[in-house]
Amino acid sequence: MRKSILHKLQEISGSKYVLTAPEDLVCYGYDAQHVEYCPEAIVRAGSAEEVCAILRLANEEGLHVTPRGAGTGLSGGSVPAAGGLVLDLGRMNRIIEIDQSNLLATVEPGVITADLASAVEAVGLMYPPDPGSIKVSTLGGNVAENAGGLRAIKYGVTADYIKAIEGATPTGEFFKAGAVTMKSVAGYDLVHLLCGSEGTLAVFTKLTFKLLPLPKARRSMVGLFPQLTQAAETVSAIISAGIMPATLEIMDNVTIRTVEEFKKIGLPIDAGAMLLLEVDGASAQVVEEADKAARIMTSHNASEVQIASTHEERDKVWEARRSALAALARVRPTAILEDATVPRNQLADMVSEINRIANKYSLTIGTFGHAGDGNLHPTILTDQRDKEEMARVEKAIDEIFNAALQLGGTVSGEHGIGFAKSRYLACEVGPGALGMMRTIKSALDPKGILNPGKIFTDQTT
Ligand SMILES: Cc1cc2nc3c(=O)[nH]c(=O)nc-3n(C[C@H](O)[C@H](O)[C@H](O)COP(=O)(O)OP(=O)(O)OC[C@H]3O[C@@H](n4cnc5c(N)ncnc54)[C@H](O)[C@@H]3O)c2cc1C
C-alpha cells in the first residue's frame, strides 16, 4: 500500500492503530473457513467518524475495504479476498445502554455476543441469539451474517432482534436506519436489508437490539439413538406434538466420538446419534414438556433418554455440542463445514443423502447441527494439500448443496455466502433476485470498494 495512503490512515485513527507488520497481516488473512488472503494493511477504527473517513479515503484512492469483527465467520466474509485494507471493529466494544423499560440494548459493533448476553441476564433479561461461537464472535459480525444459534428454533435469529443500525455507507456517509419503537414502517426496511449483508453494503458502528424477559425455568435432556436417521425423524415428531424446544440439536456418531476424545466428558461413543434438547418457560410447563419430549424420543427408538438434573449435567450437555466443530477440526489438517438447511420434515432424507455422499466419495463427514431448524453442519475432514482428495471433496460439496436444494432447502442457513458459496447462490435464488441484489450493491457501492469478492461470483480479485 502506498505510503501516502498509510499516512492518511494514521492521521484518521492514530499510527498505533494502523498495522502493517507481516505477522499482523497474516493474522487478519483468515477466518474459521479454510481459504486465506493477506491484506495490505489493517486499521483498528475507534469511532463512527473514523469509519466514515476511512471509507471516504478508500473511495478516493480506489482501496478495497473488508470489515472484520472477531473473524469466526464460516464463509470467508472477513477475509480480504481482493487484498487492500481490513477494517477491524473490535476496538468499538462498549455496551452503551441496557434500557429495561423498553427492553432494548444499544452496543458498539465489537461487543462480544456473550458479553451482551451476560450483561442483560444480570438484570433478568435475555438476548436470545446464541451462535456456537458466542464467546468470541462480535455483534457486528452477527448482524452482518444474520447469525443463528442453538436457540433459533424457538427464539429466531439475529434479524428477529435487531431494531436499529448506525454506520457508514460504502462511500463514507454516516446513516441511521430503523427505529427503537415497537413498530415502524417509515420507508424501506433498511435494517433488514443490512442484516445479513455480509459486510458488503455498510459498516455498522452502533446497533440496537430487542431483549426478552429471561425464562423462569429450563430443562435439558439427551436422547441416544441407534441410527442418525431415527434421531432426525424424531425431530419432526417432537414439533408435531406441539412442543417448541428452546434448543434441539443433533450429533452423529463421528461427532460424538470426536468430541469425547477431545473433552473426555463421558459421551456414549457407541450411540449412532444424539438429540440434545432444552425446553424453557414457566416451571410447570417445562416439566410437562420435558416429560412429553422424553416419551416421544423413547417411542421413536431412543435407546436411552437422560434428563439433566443439575446445572453441571446441563453444562455438560451443551459443552458437548459447542465443542463439536473444535473437536472435529483436530482430526485432520482441514475441516470444511457446510450449513445446508432443509425444511424440518426433510431432515431424515438430508442426513441419508449426506451419508450416501460420504460413502460415494470415501470421505469422513461428521454431521451435527441445529436439527430443530433443519440446519445441518456436515463437516468434511480432509487435507487441502491432498489434491486428489480435495477433488472428491469438491464433488461431495456440490452434491450436498444440490441435495439440499432438491429437498426445498437453502445453501446457507446461517453462515452466509461469502466467497465459499457464491457459485451456488444463483442456483438457489434465480436470475431475478440475483439481479436485484447486484443492483442494490452497485447503487450503494458504485466503485465496488466494500468487501469485494463476496456473495457475487464475478467480482473477485
Ligand atoms: C465454533 C464456531 C461455531 C459457530 N456457530 C455458529 C452458529 O451456531 N450460528 C451462526 O450463525 N454462526 C456460527 N458460527 C459462524 C460465526 O461465528 C458467525 O458468522 C458470526 O456472526 C461471525 O461474527 P464475527 O464477529 O466473527 O465476524 P467476522 O467473521 O469477523 O465477519 C463476518 C462478516 O461480518 C462482516 N462484519 C463484521 N463486522 C462488521 C461490521 N461492524 N459492519 C459490517 N460488517 C461487518 C465481515 O465483513 C464479514 O463479512 C460459528 C463459528 C465458529 C468458529
pLDDT tens track for 173-218: 999 999 999 999 999 999 999 999 999 999 999 999 999 999 999 9
C-alpha of residue 388 to centroid of ligand 1, in Å: 31
Q: Can you tell me which atom of ligand 1 is nearest the CA of 370?
A: 8
C-alpha of residue 135 to centroid of ligand 1, in Å: 12
Pocket test for ligand 1, best of 68, 247, 379 (most atoms within 8 A of CB): 68
Pocket test for ligand 1, best of 133, 250, 422 (most atoms within 8 A of CB): 133
Query: Average pLDDT, stretch 298-316?
Result: 91
Q: Name the average pLDDT for the chain.
A: 95
pLDDT at 35: 85
Query: Average pLDDT, stretch 100-122?
Result: 98
Q: Is the pLDDT of residue 319 over 70?
A: yes
CA distance 353 to 163: 38
**Ligand 1 proximal residues by C-beta, below 6 Å:** 31-32, 66-74, 77-78, 89, 109, 131-133, 137-138, 140-142, 144-145, 147-149, 198-199, 203-204, 325, 414-415, 451
Banded pLDDT at 460 (limits 50, 70, 90): very low
Q: Is the pLDDT of residue 233 over 90?
A: yes
End-to-end CA distance of the chain: 16
Contact (CB, 8 A) for 460 and 82: yes
C-alpha of residue 415 to centroid of ligand 1, in Å: 7
Query: Average pLDDT, stretch 405-422?
Result: 93
pLDDT at 459: 52
The phi, psi pair for 313, rounded to 5°, reads: -65, -40
Q: Can you tell me which atom of ligand 1 is nearest the CA of 157?
A: 11
Percent of the chain with pLDDT over 70: 99
**Other Cβ atoms within 10 Å of 460 Cβ, number:** 12
C-alpha of residue 71 to centroid of ligand 1, in Å: 6
Query: Average pLDDT, stretch 33-51?
Result: 95
Strand 203-210 and strand 162-168: pairing? antiparallel
The closest residue, in CA terms, to atom 50 on ligand 1 is 133
Q: Is the pLDDT of residue 343 over 60?
A: yes
The closest residue, in CA terms, to atom 20 on ligand 1 is 142
Q: Is the pLDDT of residue 56 over 50?
A: yes
Pocket test for ligand 1, best of 27, 35, 50, 74 (most atoms within 8 A of CB): 74
Please name every residue paired with 96 in a beta bridge, in sequence order, or none if there are none. none
**Among 150-164, 184-198, 420-434, the least confident range:** 420-434
**Distance, C-alpha 405 to centroid of its chain:** 20
The phi, psi pair for 95, rounded to 5°, reads: -85, 110
Q: Report, in angstroms and rounded to the nearest whole number, the Rg of the chain calculated over CA atoms.
A: 22
Locus of grid cell 436499529:
164
Percent of the chain with pLDDT over 90: 92
Query: Average pLDDT, stretch 360-380?
Result: 95
The closest residue, in CA terms, to atom 7 on ligand 1 is 131
Instruction: Tell me how far CA of residue 412 lies from CA of 12, 326, 429, 437, in angstroms.
Output: 37, 20, 12, 16
The closest residue, in CA terms, to atom 52 on ligand 1 is 133
Q: Can you tell me which atom of ligand 1 is nearest the CA of 416?
A: 19
C-alpha of residue 107 to centroid of ligand 1, in Å: 16
Which strands sit side by side in the sheet containing 18-19, from one edge to the other?
18-19, 41-44, 85-88, 65-68
Q: Can you tell me which atom of ligand 1 is nearest the CA of 167?
A: 42
C-alpha of residue 140 to centroid of ligand 1, in Å: 8
Q: Can you tell me which atom of ligand 1 is nearest the CA of 451?
A: 47
C-alpha of residue 177 to centroid of ligand 1, in Å: 21
Per residue in 271-295, pLDDT tens? 999 999 999 999 999 999 999 999 9
The closest residue, in CA terms, to atom 53 on ligand 1 is 72
C-alpha of residue 310 to centroid of ligand 1, in Å: 32
CA distance 226 to 273: 7
- Least Cα distance to 139 among 110, 160, 165 occurs for 110
C-alpha of residue 236 to centroid of ligand 1, in Å: 29
Pocket test for ligand 1, best of 78, 174, 194 (most atoms within 8 A of CB): 78
Residues 6+ apart with CB under 8 A from 182: none
More confident residue, 309 or 278: 278
Q: Can you tell me which atom of ligand 1 is nearest the CA of 73?
A: 29
